[in-house]
Structure 1
Amino acid sequence: MAKKKSKFVCNECGYETAKWMGRCPGCGQWNTMVEEVEVVAKGPRGAFKHSEIVSAKATPIISVETQEEQRVPTELTEFNRVLGGGIVPGSLILIGGDPGIGKSTLLLQVSALLSNKNHRVLYVSGEESIRQTKLRAERLGVQSPELYIYAETNLEMISETIEQTQPKFVIIDSIQTVHHPEVTSAPGSVSQVRECTGELMRIAKTKNIAIFLVGHVTKEGQIAGPRILEHMVDTVLYFEGERHHNHRILRSQKNRFGSTNEIAIFEMVHGGLKEVLNPSEMFLEERSQGAPGSTIVASMEGTRPILVEIQALVSPSSFNYPKRMATGLDQNRVSLLMAVLEKRMGFMLQAQDAFIKVAGGVKLDEPAIDLAVLVSIVSSFKDLSANPTDCFAGEVGLTGEVRRVTRIEQRVNEAAKLGFKRIFIPTSNIGGWDFPAGIEVIGVERVDQALKQAFREL
């Protein structure tokens, strides 16, 4: 007879303990311990279960033969870019995002593109019925005989259907709704997510099937469930965007078969998601030229240069402690840059509220945006308009120096392609490459040099 045993598992890190604790010893989070009941099979005394063990020998690395991964590209160029060139057969891909952001829409469109190329796709929906999925497919214009729809949450039934259908691609929407009948905890718990992901990973590797998992996110923006879920899969993608904006950003957080800095940009239209091939033009089409506090930065997202508008609003504060707010930027970085302006450049910002924003809902976290942020703050503080045809790229140190940035040629070429006349870059980046025609490249060593050339009034 099976014996029931109770344990407490942390929802954040999967730490297990025999008693409840207010704070998890593994990750230090509060109120994350959840009670689960496990069934321990009790056999006869002295009985052991032996498993077949396949012995493997250690091999010198120089004698290991490798070959390039075979990829299956889709017609979505942006989607292929994030995955590193296409879908690798036998890979396990996790896609997370806020509710209603478009995860199911994106995967249904990808399923249609793959099935139109005679690749059999199994779409397993644990949140919608077959009729609901069919209605959404009709709105997107998805019609293919190689696309199979299956509404089920039982993992054993899903495994049998995969065995019968023999698809090349499987989509599980979502992993939090799938449950293993031998695990007694509720769907979405740590044990269920861990066991179901492990079983799907075994299916993907043994049958060479690429499996997409849709994951829910918490209010902090992290994928719900144990962190081991992200460690088990091959690729982790985050689908993000503002509800009041039409564009969506697919960002790679982990990729064993490609770069982890790539992003794909889509636009939500009536017929589904449409890829944006020139995001710089989209981000700059609504900017107000000649407005104080607005500057353009030549940023890099993976291997792609993107020109984005940075807006700053600096106004006198009526409180003892002025506000510092940043949207799309690290707030600590903004505070550091303002301290450089106060200490090295002599701008008195102690009594000023500062609000910094990256227009378009993009998040920037690379060092090359420092110079543009400083110029936008000074532009708003002095009520001076920057030249609308100027662009900036450079990292700023604590002593006010402008430091070298990477991929400077691609940044300058992108600015020249969009019609900018001048670009301010670090002096150390000048040399060893040819400037494109139609744009003046200005090298600066310190922030005060850049400010004097950007604003003649200073």
Structure 2
Amino acid sequence: MSAVAKPKTQFVCQNCGYNSPRYLGRCPNCGAWNQMVEEKLPTKNKEVHAQSNLAGQIAKPRLLTSVNVEKEPRVKTQLAELNRVLGGGIVPGSLVLVGGDPGIGKSTLLLQVSGQLSRHQEKVLYVSGEESAVQIKMRADRLGVGNSQLYLYPETDMGSIQQQVKQLQPDYLVIDSIQTMQEPDLNSAVGSVAQVREVTADLMRLAKQNQITVFIVGHVTKGGAIAGPKILEHMVDTVLYFEGDQQRTYRILRAVKNRFGSTNEIGIFEMQMDGLHEVANPSEIFLEERLAGATGSAVVVSLEGTRPILVEIQALITPTVFGNAQRTTTGIDRNRAALIMAVLEKRANLMLQNQDAYLKAAGGVKLNEPAIDLAVAVSIASSYRDKETQARDCFVGELGLTGEVRSVNRIEQRINEAAKLGFKRIFIPKNNTKRLQVPKTIQVIGVTTIAEALKKAFD
């Protein structure tokens, strides 16, 4: 009597996808603890067949010179902010991943977009693995979405989903969410690395072979990264992060990967009872609650992609109680703040080593470009000296370690935005003042060093 072969298993890290023949408490690849899950290995090799599209056509090798290239088509939605983040609109046949915290508005955004697209007599299949059709219908009524070309399909089995896609042949497919979808041929649990990888591969084939635009909703981990293997972000064409605080009504849509556009663009929305509304002028929102005459405040004109945004930088400098001074930041890189404080201490004679520093970009926005350095330095000096800056001053410039104020890009666009919002003076690097064409309503002050900038700002 022959012994029954024991099915082979492996242990897979649910954080990074690392494989191990035995259980490990700590993943040697990513360092995560208690993330190794046992999964069965497939016993038989599947026969590999050429993949065909919904029309039964099989792709064949073609000469590069025989491929006709037309202008990249774009489908524009009624949300201009979303069009900007995507690089001008939706590219047919693309695979777009939308990630964000629970309850931030991912499903609301995609349901609104689905309703807008279906108004153009294009079929949209909305597949939900988390809500029933009745629940989605209730939310659609609240958002004012209701069209004959929008199909709802509560299902998690990829085999059934592919069958419905073949029958309906939709122009757009929404998967909410990728972590709830299941590949029936795999023995691993729903949401595991193997499941997410295989489901995404099937969706990518559907998108590329049939020119179906696929939107995928992805959950995020406690660290803010999209849950599942990192290969998920590599496989898709576009990765969008939906950011914001549930205590605030404003949401920021940020592109971190985009094969068809810039990765620096952001879109700003406001969550209301009837859905997401785009914010046309975010600078006014970020500055509307600024206190007149407050110390430790400076305004910067930051660029997010092609859009200039005015943001208030706030600083609070207090004598330290403990031995080591604290450096706490919100919306600003902590290492950048520490570097700027070191430059101020060495080049501007500010004794900051025994001072606790708390810095914040007001409004919940995250700033990471070098042009914010000068505004951060002025806000720190304002709080330390307890001297206010003028209410209609703003600051743009990068700081070097020797105390120089270095030039930044697209300075005229920044100046025009500041003038449009009523600012009277803008401090910029001296090298950026050459051949400027700016409005007469704003005075441009060129500075060479941080010491010169502080002297002119507080005079």
Q: TM-score, normalised by structure 1?
A: 0.95
Quote the Cα distance in structure 2 between the aligned partners of 1:49 and 1:220: 39
Which residue number corresponds to residue 37 of structure 1? Answer: 40
SS, match of residue 107 in structure 2: helix
Quote the Cα distance in structure 2 between the aligned partners of 1:52 and 1:121: 27
Residue 392 of structure 1, aligned match among 392, 395, 419:
395
Q: 1:186 to 1:2 in 2, by over 3 A?
A: farther
Tell me how far 1:3 sits from its aligned partner. Answer: 6.8
Tell me how far 1:116 sits from its aligned partner. Answer: 1.2
Amino acid at match of 1:9: V
Q: Structure 2: which 5+ runs fail to align?
A: 52-58
Residue 85 of structure 2, aligned match among 69, 79, 82:
82
Amino acid at match of 1:96: G
Residue 198 of structure 1, aligned match among 178, 196, 201:
201
Quote the Cα distance in structure 2 between the aligned partners of 1:209 and 1:2: 43
Amino acid at match of 1:446: T
Which residue number corresponds to residue 312 of structure 1? Answer: 315
- 1:24 and 2:27 correspond: yes
Q: 1:200 to 1:55 in 2, by over 3 A?
A: closer
Quote the Cα distance in structure 1 between the aligned partners of 2:33 and 2:285: 42
Tell me how far 1:2 sits from its aligned partner. Answer: 9.3
Quote the Cα distance in structure 2 between the aligned partners of 1:232 and 1:68: 24
> Which residues in structure 2 correspond to 1:142-221 (within 5 Å)?
142-221=145-224
Tell me how far 1:65 sits from its aligned partner. Answer: 5.2
Per-residue deviation, residues 86-126 of structure 1 (Å, max 9, x unmatched):
11111000000000000000001001111112111111110
Tell me how far 1:30 sits from its aligned partner. Answer: 4.0
Q: CA RMSD in A?
A: 1.8
Quote the Cα distance in structure 2 between the aligned partners of 1:290 and 1:117: 52
- 1:324 and 2:302 correspond: no
Which residue number corresponds to residue 228 of structure 1? Answer: 231
Q: 1:238 to 1:323 in 2, by over 3 A?
A: same
Residue 113 of structure 1, aligned match among 98, 111, 116:
116
Which residue number corresponds to residue 45 of structure 1? Answer: none
Amino acid at match of 2:321: S
SS, match of residue 446 in structure 2: strand
Paired residue total: 449
Quote the Cα distance in structure 1 between the aligned partners of 2:202 and 2:49: 17
Per-residue deviation, residues 251-277 of structure 1 (Å, max 9, x unmatched):
000000000000000001111100001
Amino acid at match of 1:289: A
Per-residue deviation, residues 232-254 of structure 1 (Å, max 9, x unmatched):
00000000001111100000000
Quote the Cα distance in structure 1 between the aligned partners of 2:399 and 2:42: 58
Tell me, yes or no, if the aligned pair for 1:121 and 1:170 is still in contact at 8 Å: yes
- 1:347 and 2:350 correspond: yes
- 1:5 and 2:38 correspond: no
Quote the Cα distance in structure 2 between the aligned partners of 1:51 and 1:195: 16
- 1:436 and 2:436 correspond: no
- 1:67 and 2:70 correspond: yes
Q: 1:131 to 1:52 in 2, by over 3 A?
A: closer
Q: 1:198 to 1:50 in 2, by over 3 A?
A: closer
Tell me, yes or no, if the aligned pair for 1:3 and 1:40 is still in contact at 8 Å: no
Tell me how far 1:371 sits from its aligned partner. Answer: 0.2
Amino acid at match of 1:306: I
- 1:421 and 2:420 correspond: no
Which residue number corresponds to residue 250 of structure 1? Answer: 253
Tell me how far 1:51 sits from its aligned partner. Answer: 4.4
SS, match of residue 40 in structure 1: coil
- 1:99 and 2:127 correspond: no
Tell me how far 1:33 sits from its aligned partner. Answer: 2.4
Moved more, 374-383 or 48-57: 48-57
Quote the Cα distance in structure 2 between the aligned partners of 1:323 and 1:24: 33
Quote the Cα distance in structure 2 between the aligned partners of 1:282 and 1:178: 39
Amino acid at match of 1:338: M
Tell me how far 1:56 sits from its aligned partner. Answer: 4.0
SS, match of residue 41 in structure 2: strand
Tell me, yes or no, if the aligned pair for 1:3 and 1:41 is still in contact at 8 Å: no
Tell me, yes or no, if the aligned pair for 1:98 and 1:217 is still in contact at 8 Å: yes
- 1:240 and 2:243 correspond: yes
Which residue number corresponds to residue 280 of structure 1? Answer: 283
Q: TM-score, normalised by structure 2?
A: 0.94
> Which residues in structure 2 correspond to 1:115-134 (within 5 Å)?
115-134=118-137
Q: 1:59 to 1:164 in 2, by over 3 A?
A: closer
SS, match of residue 377 in structure 1: helix
Tell me, yes or no, if the aligned pair for 1:2 and 1:39 is still in contact at 8 Å: no
Tell me, yes or no, if the aligned pair for 1:311 and 1:357 is still in contact at 8 Å: yes
Tell me how far 1:19 sits from its aligned partner. Answer: 1.9
> Which residues in structure 2 correspond to 1:258-273 (within 5 Å)?
258-273=261-276
Q: 1:12 to 1:293 in 2, by over 3 A?
A: same
Per-residue deviation, residues 27-84 of structure 1 (Å, max 9, x unmatched):
3444432221123127xxxxx9564598747858xx8753321111101000000000
SS, match of residue 308 in structure 1: strand
> Which residues in structure 2 correspond to 1:48-59 (within 5 Å)?
49=47, 51=49, 56=61
Identity of matched residues, %: 61
Q: Structure 1: which 5+ runs fail to align?
A: 43-47
Which residue number corresponds to residue 137 of structure 1? Answer: 140
